[in-house]
Amino acid sequence: MTQDRWDVVIVGGGLAGYVSANILGKAGLKTLLVEKANKVGGRAKTDIVNNQYLNIGPHALYKKGRASSILTDLGITITGNAPKKNSIIIYHDTPYIAPFSPKGLVQSKFLSWNEKIEWIGILRKVQKLQSGLFSHKTFQQFVEETTNSFKIQQLLYTLGRLASYSHAPEKISASVMLTHIQLGMGGVVYVDGGWQSIIDQLHNQAVTNSVQIQTGSSVKHLNAIESGEWQLKLSNQETILSKFIIYTGSPQALNGLLGVPSKKLPFNQLEPIKAATLDVALTKLPNPNNLFALGIDEPYYFSVHSNYARLSHDGKSKVLHVLRYHHPNAHINGPDEKLKLEGFLETLQPGWKNYEIKSRCFPQITVNCRLSKVGDETIFSRGLSIAPGLYMAGDWASPYVMLSEAAVESGKQAALEVIDKETGV
Ligand SMILES: Cc1cc2nc3c(=O)[nH]c(=O)nc-3n(C[C@H](O)[C@H](O)[C@H](O)COP(=O)(O)OP(=O)(O)OC[C@H]3O[C@@H](n4cnc5c(N)ncnc54)[C@H](O)[C@@H]3O)c2cc1C
């Protein structure tokens, strides 16, 4: 029986897989992308429901990040706007103006005047510091060494959650967290059409460059064979051969695909970052003044994304996201999470259910496949190759960044490493 032979098979059609596919396609390598879902995009997909564009939870692209510049270099056009900085914070059920903008700082009653002066100094310091110097510390250690003010500590944890989605300051590396806070300070964009608009452009370009896309098939086994190639077994019983594989699924699933004992790979101890989200479309906002809010003592996020990006067919409805950041040790009860998210929304938009077009809840979704811990850099000390011809990419496959930054950057790097090997450059 003849088997399909490829230069590269990419496992997964999310951001990382599609960035790799674009680079490999342009380089002329015979490339197949296999995606287990029927629709491509992974966690960057946008569902169109009742003419509303719902990202999977709130998605904001760092304006000054590597992801944005790599996507632009690949010819992807990203339109949308930055949310305004007027926001509220909620502490012990009481709303305060957030001291996150010069005007907010003056008006906010959350901090005393002395604390405000200290807070400005800390923000300036955080903006300028070299985040890499803090790779031996957790973010909690950094915060506790930076200020004795309990409220300023809480503000730093809140900014950290916002920038990284991590609610475990005692675990996350200060260096990665500070990098993401700095990226967040550089501003973000809510994307017109949702993140699917990025995926669709990447998909079309990949197809134009002769990359073949196969959806609805899952890769079940990866075997290194004697010829030096890789043999992939798919869920549809197909077997294919490839010189190289770029794997972009979760690190935890990789052991199973390789059929090796989990202890042999450094990825089995990696913990994901999880959250609960409530994605909502309304005909109107009961309180149009409340557009952005963060919990201080409770780990909540709320933002009306459609005020800054086109997120419905007619552009008239309101699409918003509520999110609750999970601690890795938290025990999650799905129905409770939904009630909590709905309750938080009720405090900001009372009576929102009267205007509901659509709402949906993911009580426990993986936001990032790896919570970056102190010392994680060693996992990546040998680049993105795990075994000869097998490369990893994805939001977990970068030592210094997470989220789309890591997915896009590692997708590019894995493709370049494959091209180097193939062409001997
Ligand atoms: C609620 C939420 C909010 C977020 N907000 C932001 C944000 O504001 N900013 C930001 O930068 N990032 C954000 N992210 C993170 C961002 O969406 C992800 O980091 C990024 O989309 C990950 O891309 P990826 O390609 O690494 O992984 P994925 O998108 O997970 O893609 C991997 C793909 O591989 C497929 N796959 C897995 N195993 C197999 C297999 N064996 N065979 C075939 N296919 C397989 C999966 O189906 C999936 O489609 C958010 C994520 C969530 C969930």
CA angle 281, 166, 82 (to 5 degrees): 50
- Tokens 């005692």 belong to 170
Q: Using CA atoms, how far apart are residues 29 and 21, in angstroms rounded to an integer?
A: 9
Shortest-distance Cα residue to atom 6 of ligand 1? 59
Q: Say if ligand 1 is within 6 A of residue 214 CB.
A: no
Among residues 163, 200, 193, which one has the least CA distance to residue 81?
193
How far apart CA 44 and CA 18 sit, in angstroms, is 11
Q: Whose CA is nearest to atom 33 of ligand 1?
A: 12
The pLDDT of residue 1: 44
Quickly list H helices, 261-333. none
* CB-based burial label for 102 (10 Å; 0-12, 13-18, 19+): exposed
Ligand 1 geometric centre to CA of 6 (Å): 24
Torsion of CA 83, 73, 44, 393, to 10 degrees: -130
pLDDT at 256: 87
Cα torsion 238, 242, 245, 248: sign:
negative
Where helices occur in 129-231 by DSSP H, the ranges are: 139-146, 150-164, 174-185, 196-208
Q: How many Å apart are CA 79 and CA 7, to the nearest integer?
A: 34
Kindly give the number of the ligand 1 atom that is closest to the alpha carbon of 249.
Answer: 37
- Whether the CA torsion 59, 63, 65, 71 is positive or negative: it is positive
Rounded to whole angstroms, the Cα distance separating 282 from 98 reads: 25
Q: Which residues pair with 158 in a beta bridge?
A: none
Residue pair 240/255 in contact (Cβ under 8 Å)? The answer is no
- Give the sign of the dihedral formed by CA 344, CA 348, CA 353, CA 359: negative
Collapsed DSSP state (helix, strand, coil) of residue 301: strand
CA of 378 from ligand 1 middle (Å) equals 23
* Two structure tokens written together for 213: 């896309």
Ligand 1: nearest atom to the Cα of 41: 49
Atom of ligand 1 nearest to the CA of 44: 21
Alpha carbon distances (Å) from 357 to 269, 279, 288, 334, 371:
41, 11, 17, 22, 34
pLDDT profile of the chain (425 residues), mean per 10: 82 98 98 98 98 98 97 98 92 96 95 97 97 95 98 98 98 98 97 98 98 98 93 95 97 86 68 97 97 98 98 96 97 96 98 98 98 88 85 95 97 97 83
How far is it, in rounded angstroms, from Cα 10 to Cα 262? 22
pLDDT of residue 269: 78
| CA atoms of 61 and 213, how far apart (whole Å) | 26
0.85 exceeded by pTM = yes
Q: How far apart are CA 231 and CA 87, in angstroms?
A: 52
- The first and second tokens of residue 56, run together, are 């999977």
Give 265's DSSP letter.
S
- How would you class 136 by CB atoms within 10 Å of its CB: exposed for 0-12, middle for 13-18, buried for 19 or more? exposed
Q: How far is the CA of 74 from the centre of ligand 1 (A)?
A: 19
